[in-house]
Amino acid sequence: MATNKLKIAEDPINYWEQIEQLDRLIRAAELKAGLIFSFHSLFIGIVIDQAGELSEFMGQSILIKGAVLIWFLLVVISLYYALNCFRPQMEMSFDKNAFFFMDANRAFGDVKKFRKAFREINQDPNELYGQLAEQIYIHSKIIDYKFSTVQKSIKFLFGSFMWLMVLVIFYLIIA
């Protein structure tokens, strides 16, 4: 039984389009982390605005002090994960790659050596597609890390918001 295999020629444009899509995902993750910072700023601003009343409220019970401490810890953990979205762990164990910004700047020496190496890479399809594929892999690892930290941050943001609502209910009951 003969099988018909469709052979598609490799096209560097496909690789570049994939890298551009991954770059958009990186920006989306960073935007989400920025929004998390904004939400926390809003909540913390409200708490600080009500600091006088909050001080009286906290003085009423050790249980309330503990509840406020739990809320504060949830906020700190959420902010920690949101901040980590902006600090991806760079894995540097790959071969030098002309399309990786650090290698383009450091690994090839001066601009003339880089230009020569870049031209050679672009003239060798195997090397070109290999280096572009490595960039797609590296971008994918970065995106996975960023979205993972954003997801964790969102969970703690939601937890801190819910805990803040519990504190508001306690306040309304006691006040």
Residue ranges of domains in the chain: 14-174
Q: What is the mean pLDDT of the chain?
A: 86
Cα–chain-centroid distance for residue 34? 10
Q: Is the pLDDT of residue 146 over 90?
A: yes
Q: Which of 4-13, 75-84, 117-126, 165-174 has the highest mean pLDDT?
A: 75-84
Residues in the chain, how many?
A: 175
Question: Tokens 């991954």 appear where?
Answer: 22
Residue 43: which residues within 8 A CB-CB, separation 6 or more?
75, 160, 161, 164
Query: What are the structure tokens assigned to 97, written together?
Result: 């790659």
CA distance 26 to 168: 36
Angle at which helix 12-49 crosses helix 51-58, to 10 degrees, equals 70
Query: What mean pLDDT is predicted for residues 25-53?
Result: 90
State pLDDT tens for residues 78-131: 999 999 999 877 776 778 888 887 777 777 888 888 888 889 988 988 888 888
CA distance 47 to 164: 9
